[in-house]
Structure 1
Amino acid sequence: MSHKFSLAHLTVLGWSPAEMAYNASLLGYDYIGIRNINMGVKGERDFSIPLGSGRYKSLKEALEETGMKIHDIELARVLDGGDVSSYEPAFEAGASLGARAVLSSIWTDKKDYYIEQFAKLCDLAAQYGMTVNLEYVTWAGVWNLKGVMEVLNAVKRTNARVMADTLHTWRSRVSLGELRSVPKKLFDMAHICDAPAEIPDRGDKDALIYTGRDARYYVGEGGIDVAGMVKCMREDTVLSIELPHLARAAEYGYTEHARRCLATAKEYLRKNGAD
């Protein structure tokens, strides 16, 4: 199988990064993606891991014991009134633990401002040998592939990448033709999950957020052409399973939920010739 699989933190938000390393290793994942940039979301724990802290030492020990690797850290958002230089401690800690990539998204409509900030973000990440994977999120400022490509073409940074999430790709009505038009070198990773085929109106932010954070489907269970999207990318694109489902996590427990996430994704992609 060409694709490697990563466990995204949003799938198992009750686990610390160290717990993710131990459990993902046992379940057969190749990588983990951690949320070591505190977003201040209500009810979400602070998983920041300052260099030299107890959390940092625990995660480093877990990685060394299991051989698990961190693929990406998140989420370096471009926000009104923010300064991306504030992410440097998280970049430094993540890179020192072997992280290869930073996830970013843009949450403002001020184009000149967000292009300037994203360029600065790429330059900061480059100092730590990391790529910046810009995700289009259906309810964000930059919400579709066209918007992401405009940013990448404007900043012209060699470490800038496209991050396609299958849920947002479907719900932002990005076609397979659009995905195929993106140079394959720009796809280092993707988030995969499934969802109902019906697309809520973009103005119905509550419905969009509910599925995105609370009720994504196992791959192959819904109406998204996940295989078609994956086939538009490089064969070595890392597939990060971002599949939060609060009810199932409560029913099965995080370990079984994470196991089912990986097993169903592998089986679906194999059956559909996208493995």
Structure 2
Amino acid sequence: MPSFSLAALTVLELAPPAMIDVAAACGYQQVGLRLLPAMPGGVAHPLMEDEVGLRETLARLDATGITVADLEVVALRPETEIAAFSAFFETGARLGARHILVADYDPDLSRFRDRYASFCEAAAPYGLTADLEFMPWTYAPDLASAARVVAQVGQPNAGVLVDALHFDRSRSSIDELANVPTHRLHYWQMCDAPAEQPATTDAMIHAARHERMFPGEGGIDLVALARAMPADITISLEIPTIELAKTMDAKARAQRALDAARNVIARSLDGA
């Protein structure tokens, strides 16, 4: 079995120390921490501005043996200044994080490529990869476009982040995935969703941020995707379920996610 990481979005109500305890209790090996909001005003835990919270988080990591897979969310926009991420990188290094989730919100492709390359260069001394997540509503809308950008910047720590939901909704293909060099795939995100595509972009965004399904409970061919991904990279379980969270606590949801993901991986390995 690969290692599994509990993504912040799955249990967004939890601060990092509590999230780490839940991950350990359920049997995860890693967590993903949201230090920056996905959108202005969104939920985040900026540990680079909270020394007390950072020390408590480090203590929980040490006590549980959980490690940090990735940090979220770096949205590169036209006005983004790479120099502003110094404290973010330093905090990532203190946490022992391995990857950074990057999103393209810049309509100027040339400017984005240059800024992304600079971001990769700035992150590298801290031992961090910079993984471009394609999402249909961003300027890297699908696997092919993200892979092309990563290849063009040529930075050793640049990567393509495959989220099962966005892979399906962008109509990316397993054949396209086969063309992505394996060294550009550092980790991936698993969830499920109804087979039917959302009717609007707003509906797609809402589902992605608030209502996904546990692996194996929807219509995405996760077994085929798991077989196409490198077997030895971390799988981040990113499964927000806002309605269910009203009646099921974070630990129960995290456990259900992990059990379901393990079942998908078992099926991918046994040929079922």
TM-score, normalised via structure 2 length? 0.95
1:227 maps to 223
- Residue 38 of structure 1, CA deviation: 3.8
Name the SS of the counterpart of 2:73 in structure 1: strand
Q: State yes or no: 1:270 paired with 2:263.
A: no
CA contact (8 A) 2:5 2:235 kept: yes
- The list of structure 1 runs, each at least 4 consecutive aligned residues, that deviate by more than 6 angstroms after superposition, is none
Aligned ranges 1:3-22 → 2 under 5 Å: 3-22=2-21
Separation (CA, whole Å) in 1 of partners of 2:155 and 2:43? 33
Pair 1:126-2:119 in alignment: no
Aligned partners of 2:142 and 2:170 also within 8 Å: yes
1:73 aligns with 2:71: yes
Structure 1 runs not aligned, ≥5 long: none
Q: Specify the SS of the correspondent of 2:101.
A: strand
Secondary structure at the aligned position of 1:222 is classed as coil
**TM-score, normalised by the number of residues in structure 1:** 0.94
Q: Which residue of 2 aligns with 1:92?
A: 90
Structure 1 match to 2:166: 168
Q: Is the 8 A contact 2:227 2:268 kept in 1?
A: no
Per the alignment, residue 254 of structure 2 pairs with: 258
Counterparts in 2 of 1:77 and 1:52: CA distance versus 1, 3 Å: closer
Q: Distance in 2 between matches of 1:270 and 1:13?
A: 27
SS class of match (1:239): strand
CA RMSD of aligned residues (A): 1.6
For 1:183 and 1:272, how far apart are their aligned partners in 2? 21
Quickly say closer, same or farther: Cα 1:21–1:138, change in 2 above 3 A. same
Q: Which residue of 2 aligns with 1:215?
A: 211
Amino acid at match of 1:133: D
Unaligned 5+ runs, structure 2 = none
One-letter identity of the residue aligned with 2:158: A
Match of 2:195 in 1: 197
CA distance in 1, matches of 2:94, 2:267: 38
Mapped partners of 2:50, 2:192: distance in 1: 38
Q: Give 1:52 shift.
A: 6.7
Identity of aligned residues (%): 31
Q: Distance in 1 between matches of 2:92 and 2:171?
A: 33
Question: What is the CA-CA distance between 1:51 and the residue it aligns to?
Answer: 6.7
Take 1:176 and 1:39, find their aligned partners in 2: how far apart are those partners? 27
Equivalent pair of 1:167/1:195 in contact (CA under 8 Å): yes
Report deviation, 1:76. 1.1
Q: Provide the rounded CA distance (Å) in 2 between the counterparts of 1:252 and 1:39.
A: 24
Per-residue deviation, 1:13: 0.5
User: 1:273: Cα distance to partner?
Assistant: 2.3
